Structures are given as structure tokens and as C-alpha cells.
Structure 1
Amino acid sequence: MKTELVGNWMSEGIITVDTTTTLPEAHSLMKAKNIRRLPVVDKKKRIVGIISLGDIRAAEASPATSLSIWELNYLLAKLKVKDFMTENPVTVTPETTIGEAANLMLAHKISGLPVVNADYDLVGIITESDIFEMIVLHEWEALLPVVETI
């Protein structure tokens, strides 16, 4: 983990939204693509924030509300990602080690990090799932010679 780089394990071609995306649109996108966070980008595709499923859930109405489903949907459709996203998210570069990325996630209590290049262009995302996959694959490779001798 000390020498493995984020660039080798990050997900590329990630789905993004812009600041004018509504919360229901972002939520639908997350559900359709089975993802828990969306980077928010500007017109130049530079990251300006990140919105998580938790951010969206926190904005939704309580089940105890007296509003009808139509009133709720109407109000939710007016809410924009820009009002609920985390601005200036913690980021890493493709050259960051997996260990450094994992430490940042632990320190900031987050489960994913946008990956940017020197121009702050979004080039990928590294998540706890990516890191877990790397650990499992590396541990399995390390154990394989031992297993074969049994």
C-alpha cells in the first residue's frame, strides 16, 4: 500500500453533475448508477464540490411531514446541488499513494476522494471500495504461494 498509486486503482470516466442539477436529478442518477457520491464540476470540468447520498437524504423531508407527496416533490425539485454539496472537497492526484489516500479518508471521515491533475481537472475518483479491492487482491496474491504449498 505504501507504493501503490491512486492512479492505478481509481475509477475513470466518472459521472458528474453541475451546480444547477436538482437534488431529485442527482438522487435518481445515483440510484440508476448505484453510486453514493457525485463530483460537482464547473463548465471547465474542474471540481467545485461533491454531493453524497447522505447530503441528499439530509435534505429530504421527515416522514412526519404534513405535506402531500406532490408538495414534497414540487419543493424538492427546486433544491439545487450547489446548496447541499461540500465545497472545495479534499482531493488527491494520481501520484498520491493509496496509503496517503486512505489516511485522508480516515482523517476527514469520508469514503471517497476526487482525483485531479495539476490543473485541477477531474480525472477520476478513488473510493473505499477501490482501496478494499486493492487490499484483497494484494493479500490474495501474497497468500497464493502459501496456499499452493498446503
Structure 2
Amino acid sequence: MLVKNIMSRNLYVAHPKTTVTDAQETMRRENIHHLPVIDDHTKKLVGIVSEKDLLYASPSPASTLDVYEMTRLLSKLSVGSVMAKKVVSAHPQDLVEDAARKMVDHDIGCLPIVDEDNYPVGIITESDMFRLFIDLFGTREKGLRATLRIPEEPGELAKLGSDVSEHNGNIVSIGTWPGERPTDALCIMKVTGMTREQFISSVEKHILEVIDIREV
């Protein structure tokens, strides 16, 4: 799957001269937590500001300033003075897993999506990744979810798929992860059209262990 398939295209942005109060209002109104910052003239990406950045820029609740003084102070503070200028971004044609790796490696909550000329065309957030995770596991569809320990050998998934198909089962989702030993792997599979007993009977000759199985 590509970044363009899950990114949000309804993009809200700020400019370097946007005030902190205006940026905060946009985030509250649109229920978002990040704003890409684009240059007024070139319209290219020059930074990004987060809800946390704006919070840190605001006076402390323990401040002796009254509400009017705080408002006046924030009205003079621009996004350009608090935004992150070194922006980690992605391209619409990037793989989703590469985008997720960037977010994890850089410990960031979003990725602005830019085209070849650095023009913002979308954004991916942690929420988009969570929704993808839910879809990949078929979470919204009822079925039988099994965690299996299988041999780490070529063709094992094909064998499991064939076993399920031969017993009129339908695989909703399937994925593998490294096991505790180099010789085995964990397989998480969700199927429909089979009882627990039918599923175990169909796959038991090609697996090492049924770690967990449940109706969800």
C-alpha cells in the first residue's frame, strides 16, 4: 500500500507569520494536532508546528500575567518562531511501512506529504496508521482469530492458505512475525466460515503450536 492511499488530503496549513493564537484556534476548530507551515510566496513546505509546540510557547499557568496580557503576548508571537524547521516528510508514492518507520525512528506523530517540488499535498498522522492497522487485521469483521507458531520455511503460508481453502474457510487477514527461535515464526490469521474445531483440524499438520484462538 502507498502513502497516497491513506493520507489525509484535506490539508490545513499555517504560514510563518500566522500568530500562535490563530494556529491554536485552527487546531481546536478542526480537531487536529499538527499544521504544516508553508512559505507565503513559494507555497512550499518550510516547517511544521504541533499542538505541543504551541503549548510550550504559551505562558505557564503559574505566570503572573493576567489573561489580557497573555492574549496580547501570544498575538505577537508567530508560528515561524516556534515551528520545527527540519521537517521529516514523505512522498505520495512511498510505501506505507516506510512512512511508519520514519515516524517511529524520528519519534514524531505525523508526516507531511510533499510532491517532487516540496509542495504539501497531504498529511499522515498516528491516527491514520492506527486505522490502517485495524483494517489490516480485519478487526471490524467477525471471525476466528488464531495465533500460530509455524516453521520458518518457504511455502508455509501457502500451505496454511490451502488448508483453510480446502475446508471452505475464508482468510480475512494474515501476517507473520519473527518467532523466539530462528527456526519458527508467529502467524496471526483471521478466518470466517469455520468453527474452531474445523480450523484446528485443517491446519494442525502444518503448524508447530496453536498459541491462541478465539472468536472476535
| TM-score, normalised relative to structure 2 | 0.65
Paired letter, 2:173: A
Residues 78-103 of structure 1 show CA distances to partners (whole Å, capped at 9, x for unaligned) of: 00000000013001001111111111
Counterpart position of 1:147? 192
User: Does residue 9 of the first structure (1) align with residue 13 of the second (2)?
Assistant: no
- Paired letter, 1:84: V
2:73 is matched with which residue? 75
Q: Which shifted more, 123-132 or 33-42? A: 123-132
Give the 5 Å matches for 1:110-121: 110-121=108-119
- Equivalent residue runs for 1:100-119 within 5 Å: 100-119=98-117
- Aligned twin of 2:56: 58
- Residues of 2 paired with 1:51 and 1:131: CA distance? 20
Supply the AA of the counterpart residue of 1:113.
Answer: L
Q: Which runs of 5+ in 2 are unaligned?
A: 139-171, 175-188, 196-216
Q: Which residue of 2 aligns with 1:88?
A: 86
What do residues 114-149 of structure 1 show as CA deviations (whole Å, max 9, x unaligned)? 001111111100111111111111210417961342
Identity of aligned residues (%): 37
Q: Which has the higher helix share?
A: 1
Residue 30 (structure 2) aligns with: 33
Query: 8 Å contact 2:137–2:190 — kept in the other structure?
Result: no
**Structure 2 contact 4–93 (Cα < 8 Å) conserved:** yes
Q: Which residue of 2 aligns with 1:122?
A: 120
> Which among 86, 97, 105 is matched to residue 99 of structure 1?
97
Instruction: State the one-letter code of the partner of 1:28.
Output: E
- More relative contact order, 1 or 2 (CA 8 Å, 6+ apart): 1
| RMSD between aligned residues | 1.4
Query: Counterpart of 1:62 in structure 2: which amino acid?
Result: S
Q: What SS does the aligned partner of 2:135 have?
A: helix
Q: How many residues align?
A: 147
Larger strand percent: 2
Structure-2 change in CA distance of 1:145 and 1:57 (3 Å): closer
- Partner SS state of residue 47, structure 2: strand
Aligned-partner residue type, residue 24 of structure 1: T
The ranges of structure 1 where at least 4 consecutive aligned residues each deviate by more than 6 angstroms after the TM superposition are none
Normalised to the residue count of structure 1, the TM-score between the two structures is 0.93
User: Contact conserved, 2:90 with 2:112, CA < 8 A, in 1?
Assistant: yes
